[in-house]
Amino acid sequence: MARYPTPRRSLAFVLALTLAACAPQATAPAGPSGDAATTDLPAASAPPPMEVPTAEVAASPDAGGAVAIASFEDCVAAGFPVEESYPRQCRTPDGQSFTEDIGNALEVADLIVVEAPRPGDAVASPLTVRGRARGGWYFEAQFPVGLEAADGAVLAGTVAMAEGNWMTEDFVPFSATLAFEAPAGTTGRLVLRRDNPSGLPENDAQLVVPVRFGP
């Protein structure tokens, strides 16, 4: 019988086949049914959603919605509680505090006090101004009073007259009346100036009362 030549194999090839046949086969442990169990890899968890910051607004107790509060007037209009201090303060539930603008009333309180209008009051023409000032605020029983728009434009001017003996260091009542046309804006200021016949700057002084125009 004819013999076919056997192909020669290298020693390295034979050793590789031997090692492959002897290597243990890795199998998963059997499950309860006897079949090889499969291992489920945990699914990758999705990252938490990014939080987008939002502007903080206070919820109005009257309107029941969220409104932006930026001033004492906004706070009062939204219905939040007002502390009856001087100046008054309004607080929102999120801890914001807004103080009423009273001009420079506290700085000159020992020299002059305006009883009407009060800071922030709505004024209309004719406007009656009442208060009391020390005798040194007057000259010849009077001192100048002016009403200005928010931009400084003069709407009216007059003099306040003492209602008693002004030649004293005590407080003396005064009154004045201003007739004016309401400006386009909604805010302004009442200015009561010390009468200063000397013209010296060191003798100048004034009281500024913020007011509103309209109802």
Candidates 195, 127, 190, 211; CA nearest to 161 is 195
The contacts of residue 164 (CB under 8 Å, 6+ apart) are 172, 173
Candidates 110, 136, 131; CA nearest to 174 is 131
Q: Taking the complete model, does pTM exceed 0.95, yes or no?
A: no
What does pLDDT average to over the chain?
Answer: 81
d(CA 33, CA 31): 5
Residue 61 confidence class, pLDDT cut points 50, 70, 90: low
Tokens 């086949």 locate to 17
Which stretch of 73-87, 119-133, 166-180 has the lowest confidence by average pLDDT?
Answer: 73-87
What's the pLDDT tens digit per position in 124-176?
999 999 999 999 999 999 999 999 999 999 999 999 999 999 999 999 999 99
Domains of the chain and any CATH numbers:
58-99 (no CATH), 112-213 (2.60.40.650)
Would you state the pLDDT for residue 214?
79
